[in-house]
């Protein structure tokens, strides 16, 4: 009797783990994987559930569950890595994330020049795996002058200090090249707007 109850319990757990049964599954809760870095002016590093990975037609707008996005459907093309002087559409950046790249996004005029210079230097030190680009929308989601994204991982920096460059370097080391695909980028070197 006891053995039958255990077998039944194990079977129920296995069925639930595989998505079977009558219980609807809701969206997974994001998990904090590293605490806030107050010295750098950055929030906790958070991992989100992986979104779907379908290619959409060029120019199609995708509604992402996080902003900036960390996974989901995306265009079939990806952006060059390196430093950009213009914004890169989210649908292209997500494809970069799928390839294992880290995307660093900032709001021009809202981070110190020294921080931007440090981020440019960091990007140039690893140009095949980092994309640095402005993203004005960060000021609204919530106010995030600086954000780092990797596949399913996000760190927002609402009040970045000079230590944010060290936080970015640690993020690249911890989460770069850890994605469904590992494809180095072809670097570009544009002057990022200040």
pLDDT in tens, 166-186: 999 999 999 999 999 999 999
Q: Is the pLDDT of residue 11 over 80?
A: no
- Write out the two tokens for 53: 């990975």
Global pTM reads 0.84
Q: What is the DSSP string of 112-137?
A: -HHHHHHHHHHHHHSTTTEEEEE-GG
Q: Please, is 63 exposed, middle or buried when counting C-beta atoms within 10 Å of its C-beta (0-12, 13-18, 19+)?
A: exposed
pLDDT score at 183: 96
In this predicted model, what pLDDT tens digit does every residue of 94-138 receive, in sequence order?
999 999 999 999 999 999 999 999 999 999 999 999 999 999 988
Distance CA 9, CA 62 (A): 41
């Amino acid at each position: 009797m006891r053995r039958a109850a255990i077998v039944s319990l194990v079977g129920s757990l296995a069925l639930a783990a595989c998505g079977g049964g009558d219980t609807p599954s809701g969206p997974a809760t994001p998990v904090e994987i590293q605490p806030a870095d107050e010295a750098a002016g950055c929030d906790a590093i958070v991992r989100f559930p992986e979104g779907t990975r379908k290619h959409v037609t060029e120019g199609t707008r995708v509604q992402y569950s996080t902003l900036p996005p960390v996974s989901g459907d995306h265009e079939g093309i990806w952006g060059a890595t390196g430093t950009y002087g213009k914004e890169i559409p989210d649908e292209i950046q997500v494809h970069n994330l799928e390839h294992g790249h880290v995307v660093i996004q900032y709001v021009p005029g809202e981070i110190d020049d020294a921080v931007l210079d440090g981020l440019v230097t960091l990007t140039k030190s690893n140009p095949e795996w980092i994309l640095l680009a402005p993203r004005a929308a960060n000021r609204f989601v919530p106010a995030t002058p600086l954000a780092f994204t990797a596949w399913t991982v996000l760190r927002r920096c609402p009040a970045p200090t000079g230590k944010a460059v060290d936080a970015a370097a640690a993020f690249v080391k911890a989460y770069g090249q850890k994605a469904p695909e590992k494809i180095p980028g072809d670097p570009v070197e544009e002057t990022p707007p200040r």
